[in-house]
């Protein structure tokens, strides 16, 4: 049946609400062809769990909550008048997050990048919307200034050591258009309390692995209090050595401070464990100063754009 189905397109999703769209994606686990359109593939359950801790419907349910959060944020007036055209999934992994945004963007304006060439190769051949590429830490992204209207990075900055956190935040704000949004997650300070509570005898392998680092807690609490960021070099396997991948805890103040020199302003910060395991953050790229003048602000209010 997949041989005769056409590829799912943005036009297929016009008029479909967010909840109905999320339900269709979850249904695609068992039913890849719906209404004659072919939905994106999934890697094995083992690979899914390796990257996100869950698989199939459970993995999509978590991603769907993040998608709804992004949708709420995209009602921002500055975002709606942003000149950016595209969407970037930074740290795309196996394409769990990016597939949701076909409802909002044409496939030719979508892109995904990751440091893992195996995951990039999977995405490129899995009928996922957009173009995919491998990136290298310390090198700029292959995109123009202000190219993207929306950038997402789900559970990416939670793993970056401070120097890469700063570098990639600056780079994402470079490729984000004025008025555009960076929607991402970070580990809030409560992560250190979670680390302290981990049980070496737990049935959860991740909890067992983390419990071995409890002796790092005094250092991490001190660094978080002094610098607003604390890094645990736990590593994550191939392409994720401990010097570039671990568990990173930050304060909201640290995020705002690092974004500001690059034109970023934190407009939402939700630290609610009932909604997300991590804290969800939205940074808006400031518009040029001329656009922020008194006359422009008054005109915006009169025309309902403010």
pLDDT digits (tens, 9 = 90+) for 134-161: 999 999 999 999 999 999 999 999 999 9
Q: Which long-range contacts (CB under 8 A, 24 or more apart) does 45-49 make?
A: 47/94, 48/94, 48/96
Q: What whole-number distance in Å separates Cα of residue 235 and Cα of residue 24?
A: 35
Q: What whole-number distance in Å separates Cα of residue 162 and Cα of residue 255?
A: 11
pLDDT digits (tens, 9 = 90+) for 196-241: 999 999 998 889 999 999 999 999 999 999 999 999 999 988 889 9
Query: Which helix (H) or strand (E) covers residue 34, if one does?
Result: strand 33-34
Q: Among the residues of the chain, which ranges form H helices?
A: 18-27, 45-52, 56-73, 77-80, 117-124, 162-175, 190-197, 205-211, 217-227, 252-259, 294-303
What's residue 145's pLDDT?
97
What's residue 306's pLDDT?
46
Contact 203, 294 (CB under 8 A): no
Q: What Å distances lie between residue 144 and 86, 98, 148, CA to CA?
A: 11, 20, 9
Q: What whole-number distance in Å separates Cα of residue 229 and Cα of residue 248?
A: 7
What's residue 111's pLDDT?
98
Q: What whole-number distance in Å separates Cα of residue 262 and Cα of residue 306?
A: 23
What's residue 299's pLDDT?
53
What's residue 247's pLDDT?
97
What's residue 215's pLDDT?
96
Q: DSSP class of residue 110?
A: E
Residue ranges of the chain with per-residue pLDDT less than 50: 306
What's residue 304's pLDDT?
54
């Amino acid at each position: 049946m997949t041989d005769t189905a056409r590829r799912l397109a943005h036009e297929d999703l016009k008029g479909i609400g967010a909840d109905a769209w999320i339900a269709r994606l979850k249904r695609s686990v068992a039913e890849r062809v719906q209404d004659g359109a072919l939905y994106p593939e999934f890697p094995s359950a083992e690979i899914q769990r390796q990257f996100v801790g869950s698989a199939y419907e459970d993995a999509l349910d978590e991603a769907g909550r993040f998608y709804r959060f992004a949708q709420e944020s995209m009602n921002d007036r500055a975002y709606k008048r942003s000149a950016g055209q595209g969407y970037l999934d930074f740290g795309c992994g196996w394409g769990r997050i990016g597939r949701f945004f076909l409802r909002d963007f044409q496939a030719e304006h979508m892109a995904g990048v990751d440091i893992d060439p195996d995951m990039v190769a999977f995405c490129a051949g899995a009928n996922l919307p957009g173009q995919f590429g491998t990136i290298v830490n310390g090198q700029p992204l292959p995109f123009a200034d202000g190219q993207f209207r929306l950038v997402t990075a789900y559970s990416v900055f939670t793993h970056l050591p401070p120097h890469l956190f700063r570098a990639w935040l600056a780079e994402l704000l470079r490729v984000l258009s004025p008025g555009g949004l960076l929607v991402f997650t970070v580990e809030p300070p409560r992560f250190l309390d979670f680390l302290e509570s981990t049980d070496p005898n737990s049935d959860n392998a991740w909890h067992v692995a983390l419990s071995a680092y409890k002796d790092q807690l005094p250092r991490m609490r001190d660094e978080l209090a002094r610098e607003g960021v604390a890094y645990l070099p736990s590593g994550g396997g191939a392409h994720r050595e401990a010097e570039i991948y671990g568990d990173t805890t930050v304060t909201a103040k640290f995020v705002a401070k690092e974004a500001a020199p690059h034109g970023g302003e934190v407009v939402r910060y939700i630290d609610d464990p009932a909604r997300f395991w991590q804290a969800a953050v939205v940074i808006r790229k400031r518009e040029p100063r001329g656009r922020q003048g008194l006359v422009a602000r008054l005109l915006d209010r009169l025309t309902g754009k403010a």
